[in-house]
Amino acid sequence: MTESAAYRQYCRICWYGGRCYRIAIAGSFANATNWAGIIGIGVLGFLLQNFFGHKLVPAETWPAIVGQGLLFIAAAWVVIFVVRLLFYAPLVMHNEGKLYGNKFVYREPVLAFHEFISPKQNNREWAFQYRDAPPFSLIEYQIEIDGPREHHSACVGAHTYQVPIFKSHDEMRYTKGSVRVDRDRNLFARFFLRHDTDPRSARIYVLGWEEHLDK
């Protein structure tokens, strides 16, 4: 395996693991509090009896009750997190879209950026990240801004020098494009509204990405 191929595989593994971790961690604590009484008692009872030779007995004092409740929640969270990490996260990623070779296409556009902009914020540099795509991938995006298209200019780039300073609202009326991100998947956006335009919502959606780690 060449150095470039090894680095490509390493980045993809790190991305996949991080993506699964974020999906698994989301909502796992709320689920643990709901299922603490069932899962927590079962897990703690099994561990105490089979590994430590003790039986789980009802708590008699308030500190013991509180401590036992926290242990139930912790045990339930561990179980739920592992299940979400191993089974739920891969299923979510599969349902999000389809992979065509190195290109992943979402079934529905994914919101990556949303701000309420006004002419007072013209030429402000907005920084954001899209960590759901692998490092160095080519991200396909779509820009949506409320109101007539001829009233604003917009641009998205992976570096600050890729988002120019606008002089007027009719310089760049891009609605979609693609940009190759760096390892941290940094993105930058800049908008320019016509001076008599009311504040409006600006959204950037990701339509898909293509893995592109060649150096």
d(CA 33, CA 44) in angstroms, rounded, equals 15
Domain residue ranges of the chain, discontinuous segments joined by +: 3-97, 101-210
Domain 101-210's class? Answer: mainly beta
pLDDT by position in tens, the chain (length 215): 566 666 666 666 776 777 777 777 776 766 655 655 555 555 555 555 555 555 554 555 656 555 666 676 677 777 777 887 777 777 777 777 887 888 889 999 999 999 999 999 999 999 999 988 888 889 999 999 998 888 888 999 999 888 889 888 877 777 889 999 988 899 999 999 999 888 999 999 999 999 875 54
Query: Where are any strands of DSSP class E within 19-81?
Result: none
Q: What is the pLDDT of residue 114?
A: 96
Cβ proximity of 139 and 133 under 8 Å: yes
Tell me the β-bridge partners of 125: 190
Query: Pick from 204, 214, 8, 177: which is nearest to 117 by CA?
Result: 204
Find the helix or strand (DSSP H, E) in which 138 lies.
strand 138-145
d(CA 136, CA 102) in angstroms, rounded, equals 12
d(CA 24, CA 87) in angstroms, rounded, equals 9
Q: What tokens does 43 get?
A: 């897990």
Residue 161 DSSP SS3:
helix
Q: What is the pLDDT of residue 139?
A: 95
d(CA 129, CA 95) in angstroms, rounded, equals 22
Q: What is the pLDDT of residue 90?
A: 74
Q: What is the pLDDT of residue 124?
A: 93
